[in-house]
Amino acid sequence: MLKLDGVSKVYRVGAFGGRALTAVSGVGFEVGEGEVVSLIGESGSGKSTIGRMVLRLTQVSGGTITLDGRDISSIRDRKEYYRQVQGVFQDPFSCFNPIFRADRVFALIKEQYFPGVGAREWRGRVEDALESVRLDPGNVLGKYPHQLSGGQLQRMLIARAVLLDIRLLVADEIISMLDASTRIDVLNLLADLRARGLGILFVTHDLSLGNYVSDRTVVLRDGRIAEMGPTPLVFGDPRHPYTRSLLAAVPRLHTKWTDAPVDGTADGTAEERAEDLPCAYHEAAQGSRTRPGLAEVADGHFVACSGCAGAAPEEKKMKERA
């Protein structure tokens, strides 16, 4: 459904825009119908920029983003595009105007997209959408934003997107502001929406959240894809040293960092140790390098070069022998 092909984004920075900052370079992946793809990266990895480009909030500098084979920048009528693709963002409180009732967001949708629908029918639709995000309409309609919790507001924003009968939802860090006891409900909700055929691009920095909900995972590093593939493969058998070091740094409930298995070389961080391992990209057969800069190490599991500078590991071994 959604396809990114060699997408890049260059920002002009510096006092007179004289310098260029490449936020995203050559990123390509797909999001199918009824599929949750999580985009994982640390700050500055370009994950939000990709989300913004898909939502047409930022222009694409290179490459193309297509929806059902149509370049999204060629869709003149933005409304037509936003009927199919919507976004939900990190801070639910800043998405509502505090002086209006929270359900105004639904009225705005009606005004803009469905002016011909009768009031009674619209009311029914709003209630259906609220029930689909597991909110009690009687409980939230007519309330002001400050009377609702972050989780409720976030679910209202998802309901707003559902009203448009969208096909793709860009969820940019939608859980990070929520409390632990409510965030899991929003995650389960995403999984339920997926079952109804909605494609979801789930942007997050939290590996455990991405792992919980997504079918496929794309790990970004400095604007490039480090590794991507089916979630169980990426998390169960990470092939890129960066993915490994990220996974090692995630705090877990039942294992402490200090309990983590230490390789023969006890010194150095996980990342340093991982760099001594052979680079999965250069170890893979020439024929498996099916995408630019990525080698397919297993079915649908792609990995980039670990930064070994070409054949550097082999040279190193040669030197050691000599």
Partner 1 sequence: MALSVTDLRVYYQTLRGEVKALDGVTFSVADGEIMGLAGESGSGKSTLAKSLIRLDGRMRHAGGTVELDGRTLPIADDRAMDEFRFREVSLIPQYSMSALNPTRKIGKMVGELLAARGVPGGTAELERRLELVGLSKDVLGRYPIELSGGMKQRVVMVVSTLLNPSLLIADEVTSALDVSSQKAVATTLLGFRDHGLVTSMMVVTHDISLVYQIADTILVMYAGRLAEKAPAEVLVTAPRHPYTRQLVSALPEVGVRYEDRRLAGIPGNPPSLLNPPGGCRFRDRCPVAFEQCAEQPPFAEVAPGHLVACWKAE
* Binding mask of the shown chain, residues 263 to 282, with x at each position contacting partner 1 by CB under 8 A: --------x-----------
Stretch that binds partner 1, among 21-29, 72-80, 173-181, 283-291 (CB under 8 A): 173-181
Using CB under 8 A as the binding rule, whether residue 49 contacts partner 1 is answered as no
Quick check: 252 binds partner 1 (CB under 8 A)? yes
Planar angle of CA 53, 55, 58, nearest 5 degrees: 40
Considering Cα of 280, then 216, then 41, then 245, what sign does the dihedral take? negative
Least distance (Å) between residue 143 CB and partner 1: 13
**Contact at 8 Å (CB) between 274 and 241?**
yes
**Chain centroid, CA 67 distance in Å:** 17
| Residue 77 near residue 161, CB atoms below 8 Å | no
Q: Which of 113, 114, 122, 212 binds partner 1 (CB under 8 A)?
A: 212
List 17, 43, 78, 322, residue binding partner 1 (CB under 8 A): 43
239 touching partner 1, by CB under 8 A: no
Binding mask 91-130 for partner 1 (x = CB under 8 A): ----------------------------------------
Part of the chain binding partner 1 (CB under 8 A), chosen from 8-16, 66-74, 86-94, 252-260? 252-260
Stretch that binds partner 1, among 107-115, 155-163, 241-249, 282-290 (CB under 8 A): 241-249
CB 151 within 8 A of CB 133: no
**DSSP string for 265-298:** S-SS-HHHHHHTSPPHHHHS-GGG--BTTEEEEE
Contact between residue 95 and residue 153 where contact means Cβ atoms under 8 Å apart = yes
Q: Binder to partner 1 among 58, 61, 73, 208 (CB under 8 A)?
A: 208
Q: Which is nearer to partner 1, 63 or 150 (CB)?
A: 150
Non-local (6+) Cβ contacts of 234 within 8 A are 217, 219, 227, 228, 243, 301
Question: Does the protein bind partner 1 through residue 34 (CB under 8 A)?
Answer: no
Find the DSSP H helices in the chain. 47-54, 78-82, 104-113, 119-132, 137-140, 150-163, 180-195, 207-213, 231-236, 241-249, 270-275, 280-283, 312-321
The footprint of partner 1 on this chain (CB under 8 A) covers a number of residues equal to 37
Is residue 234 near partner 1 by the rule CB under 8 A? no
Residues in contact with partner 1 by the rule CB under 8 A:
42-43, 149-150, 179-185, 187-188, 191, 205-209, 211-213, 231-232, 235, 245-247, 249-254, 256-257, 271
